[in-house]
Each structure stands twice: as C-alpha cells, then as structure tokens.
Amino acid sequence: MIGKVGKSRVGAKGPGKSSFADLVNYVAREADGKGREVDKEEMGVLNLDTDAEDLNLIIKQMDMAAAKTAKNGKFKGDPVYHLILSWQESDKPTPKQVTECVQYTLKALGMEECQAVWAIHHDTDNDHVHIAVNRVHPEKGIVMGPPRRDYHVIDKAMRELELIHGFRRDNGPYETLDTDNGPQIVRMSRKERAEKGLLKHGDEIGPRTTQAAKAAERSQGAPSFQEWAQGEPAQVIRNALNHPDASWQALHEALAPYGIQIKTKGTGMVVTTTLDNGHGRVLACPLSKLDRNFTKMRLEQRLGGFAPPTPSSQNPADATTVRRTTYEAFLHQAQSGQEQEGPVPHDGGDDRRTKRRAERQKAREDLHTRYQADQQRIKDTRRDARKALLARQKVEREAQRQDHKGRKSLFITRKVATGMGQQAATSLWAYTAASEKETLQKQHLKERHLLPRTLVWRDWLEQQAAPPIEDESAKAALRGIRYRERRNDNQKKNGIEGEELEALKPFLSKLHHEIDHRRQLIHYRDPQGHDLFTDTGPRIDVHDRAESTVEAALRIAAQKYGAVDITGSSAFREQAARAAARLGIQVRDTDLQKVWQMEREAMQSKQQMNQPGRGDEARRPERTNRSAPQQERPDKER
C-alpha cells in the first residue's frame, strides 16, 4: 500500500464559498464530465450526521464545523485535508477493508474524531481511495492535525495495514523485514534502501520527473515531453556544450530540428515545444530536468549571458541539417503504435505472425485516427451545444427572477397574516428565494459539466474498452500502456515478455483461470486457488517457481509471442531458459543463449543415449535389463 497527501482542491474563496465542495464532489465523482460514477456501496462517512449519498448535507456540516475556528480567530489555514490510499494492482480491497484502513490511518494521524468522507476509485490499474477530511474537530472547534512529517506516519500505517489485511507489501521510508521473530517494520534511509535494492521506481538518482509530467504521461499513454526531452535532445545539448566553440546560438541550432526552444522563465530556464495539432498549445519543462548540470547559473558561466535564438538559428540554412523527430510526431507514433517494436520473431519461415503483426498495426492506426476524428467532432459540436445550453439557462434564470418578483409581496403578506413580523417575513423570503436560486445554479452547473468534452487518449481508450463497445484494439492499446508504465519495475520480477499479437484470451483450459475484464488480466490458479501466473497481455508474471508452473507459462508465451524475453532473478531466468530449451521455445536474451544451447545439447545427447543400436553406451542398458529377470528366478521359485 502507498499513502500520500493530495491537493485540497479548494476553489475560489469568498463569502458563501465552500471549502469542501470541490474535494467532496471530486471524491464522489459528481458530474465529472467523463461518465464516471462511484458506487454508493463504495462510499462512506465518519463523524457526520448523514449518509454518503447526501453530498450537500455533508458539505454543509463540514463547512459549519470549519467555521467555528473563524469565530475564535485561532486558525486561518486550510481546513481541508486530502488523503489518498492506494493498493497494488493484484490487491482488491473490499469496502469493509477500505473502511478499516481509512479509520486506522486517521487514528494514526490523530484525526480519528474528525469529519471525513471517502470513496473508492477504480479509474487506474491500482484501486485507491480518496478521503476528504475536515481538520477542525466538529465539537471542540480546534485543529486536530495532521502532525509534522505526516508522510512518515502514513507510510508506517501502510506497512501495518499490509500485515493486518495480508495486502502485497510496498516500499517506502518504512520497510517490512522478515525476521526469526516474525515481520518487523523498520525505518530506513534512502541510502539504506538503495543498498538493499528497495527503492521504488522514480526514486533513482537523477533529475526527478515533475508531478505534471507524470500526470501527462498517464493521461496520454506515452512518455511525457519531459521524459522524451531527457533522451536524444538532452544528449544533443551535452554534445554542443562539449564543443570548443560552444555558444547559445549553437545550442539553439542543435535543438531546432527537434522543434525545441530554450527560454528564460523567472530565475531559471525552460525548454518548450509547440503542438500544431493542439492549436498552438505550448509544452514546457525546466531545463534542469533534462540534466542536473543544465542550470541557468552553470550554462551562463560556460556560455555567457543568455542570448535568445535568432531567425537563422531556428531555421539553419545548412543543407546537412536533418529534420529530427519532434515531440508531436513522437507522440503520434507512440499513440498509434508506430514505434519500432523490434525484429519480427522467426517462426520457421511461417509468415502468419508477420501478417498478424501488420493487421494489428493497421488496427492501432485506425484506432488513433478514429480518436482524432472523434475529438474533432466534439470540438466542432461543443461550441454550438454550449451556446444553446447557455441561452436556455439564461431564459430559465430570467423566468425564475420574474417568478420571485411576482411571489415576493404575496409571500410576505401571507406570513404577516399568520402573525409573523414584517422584518422576519422579509428575511424568510430572502432565504427561500436564495435557496431556490442556489438549486437552479447547481442544476445549471451539472448540465454544463455534462456537455460533451474532449478526452485525453487514455480516457478515450478506457471508454472504448468498456461495455458496451469493448473494442479489442482499445483493450490491446491499454495493455501496452500499462506494460510500458511498469517496464522498469518488471525487470526485477519473475516473468516472460514478448510482442502481443493476439487478443487476450485464456490458453490452458486445464488450469483454473479468472478473467479481470476491467484491468484486462487473466489470473491462472491451481485447484487450491493459489496464484500461479498472470497474463497481462505483453507480459506473463510468474508467481510460483515450480517446474510445472514455469513450463505452463512458457507454453502460453510461445503461443502468444513466439520467441520470449525472460526477466527476474538470475536463478529464475536460468530455470526458465532451460525449460524453454526443452520445449523448443526461442529465448531472445543474449546472456541466456549459452544456458539455452547447453540444455538443448544435453537433451539431444540424452535422446541419443536412449535410442537402441547407437554403440556400446546404447546397448549396455539393454544387457542390464535382460539379466535382471534371470537373477530373480531363484527367488521366485523359492
């Protein structure tokens, strides 16, 4: 499990503005414009006098509790605390387990008496729960937390919950170590975790990826502009700086073929690129994110004061200049599946695999073309639809205004007739009119959210992969995205990889299998229900190292991929390579070729030994077998 603190998502502040409305509505997926809803059975509240379905009452109660601090003037900070708990992909917590995890974590933070609302989200590969917490105690009116360095408290609670509920273990500042006295939770520094190989992906030494880049990478299903620029463009900058005649114009000329510009921003520098298909949208990232040495201070020490690019440096006249791949072209290739996928596995001259690969490539290109056309259609129709909606809502607001104008005097007169004072009746009318106006405003806001919106590539794929469409090309594209996101981590896990050429489907009917349609996984289990291996599409994760399990996983891999790559520990890789040799399955890993070849030769020698008429070594076992019965006859006679 992983726990982290998210953004409070507080919108505009001011009189009548709620501190909790934005976050609570996000937690409940209220009118998010993407058709995603939270099952009410997967929502819960703590220390609130209502159930999870009445969002308006939840928001009002939390706002009223937070307002108590405004009266005593002792707290002027943000009362909203956004907590996120995430499970590993193989874990599927029940609503009861989630409730217990939420309560346990808040207790660890000293906030168990605070108001909170939570909901489980399934929009990523990892089930996770968002929790909106009111830091102000509902009765005492004092701030209850969180404590300093709350991320350490949360991380330790995650390790404890993993042991309590049997969830898969994760890494963090606290680690769970197996000892003779049972599992022990210990605090480790980054250096200690690096020495033990416990650092998570993303903790490696080097420029850290910004949160915005991580979000962009997930939404577009391809490396972010920052990650792409850390590759060849960053190397081009290094080469230019190593040249004796390095200058700012030389840097600009080197980056021009990639569609990249260096600009100053604030006290630092950024690299930018413009997306033509994105209507001039500009992507940017700090220059220092490409390399720690690319800071403004160091570059100006090397090249002098910054000089912006000249027209000639942006369009060099040198005929030898080659137009490199821009990020926009790279992004299109990545989303449409046009990236180099390596050589086609050799299948004994059979071109059926090559044909299937071409068909899959065509399907991916058609899928991306359909995505672009669909988003353009939404852009073309959204403006007219929004204009018509706003016109209708304007008429409804005017009709309500006229209705209030006509009802006001009659309402006040009737209340006065019942004995209510004129001032009280006027105040009651003001409250009634304001309530009706607020109801109409919320209705109009929800209608605007429900207008058709353009979707990022990943959200569109999830829409196409889900019922009732269930497009196989979209499912395959999603599996490829998930595989790429976990590629670095996968190298440490036992498994078999290859190029997925067919739709995900079970192959071994003798093993019990369970299909996870939402995540596009197939879990293979033994009769007792133990996990043996999981087919994720372009990869098979092997959970059990028994010989029969490895051979079964390899048979599926051969059916799906032809030749395979093997990842994991050295012991597993050698074991799987020997099993692949016995099954006649090609292994692409160069460091395993010797193991594979030796196993093949040993198997062939054994086969020759067992064939009759192949020399003394072949005849000797036969003489031994014939003599055995003769020695046993006296015993039988007795």
Domain boundary residue, one of 454, 477, 500: 454
Same domain, 45 and 158: yes
pLDDT classification of 13: cutoffs 50, 70, 90: low
Same domain, 248 and 147: no
Same domain, 513 and 550: yes
Q: Is the pLDDT of residue 15 over 70?
A: no
Overall domain count for the chain: 4
Residue type for 581, please?
A: A
pLDDT classification of 444: cutoffs 50, 70, 90: very high
Structure tokens at 208: 């850290």
pLDDT score, position 361: 86
- Report pLDDT digits (tens) over 118-139: 999 987 778 899 999 999 999 9
Q: Which of 67-76, 380-389, 504-513 has the highest mean pLDDT?
A: 380-389
In a domain, 635, yes or no: no
Same domain, 249 and 370: no
Structure tokens at 555: 């048979």
**Higher-confidence residue: 185 or 200?**
185
Same domain, 149 and 18: yes
Q: Is the pLDDT of residue 141 over 50?
A: yes
Q: Which domain holds residue 523?
A: 486-609
* 3-state DSSP of 44-103: EEECCCCCCCCHHHHHHHHHHHHHHHHHHCCCCCCCEEEEEEECCCCCCCCHHHHHHHHH
Same domain, 188 and 74: yes
CA dihedral 368, 370, 375, 376 (to 10 degrees): 110
Same domain, 502 and 593: yes
Structure tokens at 546: 């028994």
CB atoms within 10 A of CB 176: 17
Give residue 578's Cα distance to chain centre: 35
Same domain, 28 and 153: yes
Percentage of residues of the chain with pLDDT beyond 90? 52
Q: Is the pLDDT of residue 628 over 50?
A: no
Q: Is the pLDDT of residue 279 over 80?
A: no
pLDDT score, position 218: 85
pLDDT classification of 445: cutoffs 50, 70, 90: confident
Residue 102 CA to residue 107 CA, distance in Å, equals: 9
Residue 57 CA to residue 41 CA, distance in Å, equals: 18
pLDDT score, position 40: 77
Range in 178-192, 226-240, 526-540 with the lowest mean pLDDT? 178-192
CB atoms within 10 A of CB 446: 12
Same domain, 322 and 440: no
- Can you tell me the mean pLDDT for 304-324? 70
- Can you tell me the mean pLDDT for 436-457? 90
In a domain, 634, yes or no: no
Same domain, 36 and 184: yes
Phi, psi of 49, deg, nearest 5 = -90, 55
pLDDT score, position 201: 46
Q: Which of 7-11, 95-99, 278-282, 624-628 has the highest mean pLDDT?
A: 95-99
CB atoms within 10 A of CB 572: 17
Domain boundary residue, one of 278, 304, 335: 335
Q: Do strands 2-6 and 116-121 pair parallel, antiparallel, or not at all (unpaired)? A: unpaired
Alpha carbons within 13 angstroms on the beta-carbon side of residue 575 total 18
In a domain, 156, yes or no: yes
pLDDT classification of 605: cutoffs 50, 70, 90: confident
Q: Which of 201-215, 285-299, 498-512 has the highest mean pLDDT?
A: 285-299
pLDDT score, position 73: 67
Percentage of residues of the chain with pLDDT beyond 70? 86
pLDDT classification of 324: cutoffs 50, 70, 90: low
- Can you tell me the mean pLDDT for 515-543? 89
In a domain, 328, yes or no: yes
Range in 187-191, 506-510, 584-588 with the lowest mean pLDDT? 506-510
Residue 257 CA to residue 320 CA, distance in Å, equals: 12
In a domain, 78, yes or no: yes
Same domain, 53 and 95: yes
pLDDT score, position 197: 62
Can you state the angle between helices 570-583 and 593-609, rounded to 10 degrees?
Answer: 40
Among the listed residues 149, 151, 170, the one whose alpha carbon sits nearest the alpha carbon of residue 159: 170
Domain boundary residue, one of 454, 477, 498: 454
Q: Is the pLDDT of residue 98 over 90?
A: yes
Same domain, 29 and 57: yes
pLDDT classification of 31: cutoffs 50, 70, 90: low
pLDDT score, position 191: 74
pLDDT classification of 598: cutoffs 50, 70, 90: very high
In a domain, 404, yes or no: yes
**Nearby residues of 147 by Cβ (< 8 Å), 6 or more positions away:** 109, 110, 153
**Average pLDDT along the chain:** 85
pLDDT score, position 540: 94
pLDDT score, position 368: 93
- Can you tell me the mean pLDDT for 60-87? 86
Residue 557 CA to residue 535 CA, distance in Å, equals: 9
pLDDT score, position 629: 42
In a domain, 467, yes or no: no
Q: Is the pLDDT of residue 349 over 80?
A: no
- Can you tell me the mean pLDDT for 25-39? 69
In a domain, 519, yes or no: yes
